[in-house]
């Protein structure tokens, strides 16, 4: 079975990939509907960029950006994921009945676990070396190999969420990519190779988000505007490794490639 595709909608001024292009609600809604037409199963809406150069966005501003876009897309029956680590924003998203919460901190606020347990949405828990806040360009102070760090994080966080009453089958694991892992591009490659190990160890679906990431541009030696082929190659590899969700800026070429690749499986 092919992975589910999350189409990225950045309602931000400073996203590394398309900052400002879809900042206005109408532009974001139109872009989201276009991504659905191009093959996205779910739309992942982010109103606060998490790249190392992005400015912090307070939750009230984040919610104000999200509200009209969510309303517009939900009126078209879109399945939504809200990409935020702010508890207030997650609470707002739950009140709308969104399908997924996508947290780059892997749900660090334990005081919110009771509400998460009572909610019905899936929880995409992402590992990041930073643990708190956006990505940084600094290496982790954890000296363990990257795979051990990722596994250790998930063991700890899954146990905490389950203890609070969150049903295990609602969890999706995202090992993080690029600067969320380390400044070393090869660490992201190593984790992509370890997707089968993560699936086997935890028995949970894995989400991968490599689209346009700097580690791919470094490996391929291309600028951002030419990162499409490198992104697609990494996404097909992730699918071959067993990723059940892929978060992407360009669902159309990925959907078409997966359709062809499926005939060789």
Q: Could you read off the pLDDT of 60-116 as tens digits, one per residue?
A: 999 999 999 999 999 999 999 999 999 999 999 999 999 999 999 999 999 999 999
| pLDDT higher at 204 or 182 | 204
**pLDDT, average across residues 3-9:** 97
Cα–Cα distances in angstroms (integers) from residue 39 to residues 31, 54, 207, 243, in the given order? 13, 29, 17, 17
pLDDT at residue 135, as a whole number = 45
Dihedral, CA atoms, 23, 17, 81, 113, nearest 10 degrees? -100
pLDDT digits (tens, 9 = 90+) for 198-212: 999 999 999 999 999
Count of CA atoms in the C-beta half-sphere (13 A) of 98:
29
pLDDT at residue 17, as a whole number = 58
> Can you list the alpha helix ranges (DSSP code H) found in 168-207?
185-193, 195-202
Residue 41 is classified by DSSP as S
Distance CA 88, CA 246 (A): 26
Residue 11 is classified by DSSP as -
pLDDT at residue 183, as a whole number = 85
- Does residue 225 surpass a pLDDT of 90? no
Question: 171: closest CA among 209, 114, 97, 121?
Answer: 121
pLDDT at residue 136, as a whole number = 45
Edge-to-edge strand order for the sheet containing 207-208?
171-174, 122-126, 100-103, 80-83, 42-46, 4-10, 245-248, 207-208
Contact 218, 193 (CB under 8 A): no
pLDDT digits (tens, 9 = 90+) for 183-197: 899 999 999 999 999
Contact 81, 124 (CB under 8 A): yes
DSSP string, 89-115: HHHHHHHHT-SEEEETT-S--GGGHHH
CB neighbours of 203 closer than 8 A, spacing ≥ 6?
none
Q: Helix, strand, coil: what percent of the chain each, to 5?
A: 45, 15, 40
Q: What is the pLDDT confidence band of residue 35, given thresholds at 50, 70 and 90?
A: very high
Q: What is the pLDDT confidence band of residue 137, given thresholds at 50, 70 and 90?
A: low
> pTM to 2 decimals?
0.92
């Amino acid at each position: 079975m092919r992975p589910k595709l999350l189409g990225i909608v950045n309602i931000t001024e400073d996203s590394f990939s398309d900052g400002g292009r879809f900042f206005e609600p109408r532009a974001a809604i139109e872009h989201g509907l276009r991504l659905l037409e191009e093959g996205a199963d779910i739309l992942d809406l982010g109103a606060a960029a998490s790249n190392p150069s992005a400015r912090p966005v307070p939750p009230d501003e984040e919610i104000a950006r999200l509200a009209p876009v969510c309303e517009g897309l939900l009126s078209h029956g879109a399945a939504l994921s809200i990409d935020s680590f702010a508890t207030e924003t997650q609470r707002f998203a739950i009140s709308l009945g969104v399908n997924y919460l996508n947290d780059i901190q892997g749900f660090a606020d334990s005081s919110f676990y009771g509400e998460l347990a009572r909610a019905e949405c899936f929880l995409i828990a992402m590992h990041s070396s930073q643990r708190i806040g956006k990505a940084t360009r600094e290496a982790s102070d954890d000296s363990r190999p990257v795979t051990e760090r990722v596994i250790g994080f998930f063991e700890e966080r899954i146990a905490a969420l389950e203890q609070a009453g969150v049903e295990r089958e609602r969890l999706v694991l995202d090992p993080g990519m690029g600067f969320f892992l380390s400044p070393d591009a090869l660490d992201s490659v190593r984790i992509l190779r370890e997707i089968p190990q993560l699936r086997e160890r935890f028995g949970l679906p894995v989400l991968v988000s490599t689209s346009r990431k700097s580690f791919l541009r470094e490996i391929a030696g291309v600028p951002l505007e030419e990162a499409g082929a490198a992104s697609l190659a990494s996404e097909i590899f992730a699918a071959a490794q067993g990723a059940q969700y892929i978060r992407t800026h360009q669902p159309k070429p990925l959907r078409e490639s997966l359709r062809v690749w499926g005939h060789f499986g």
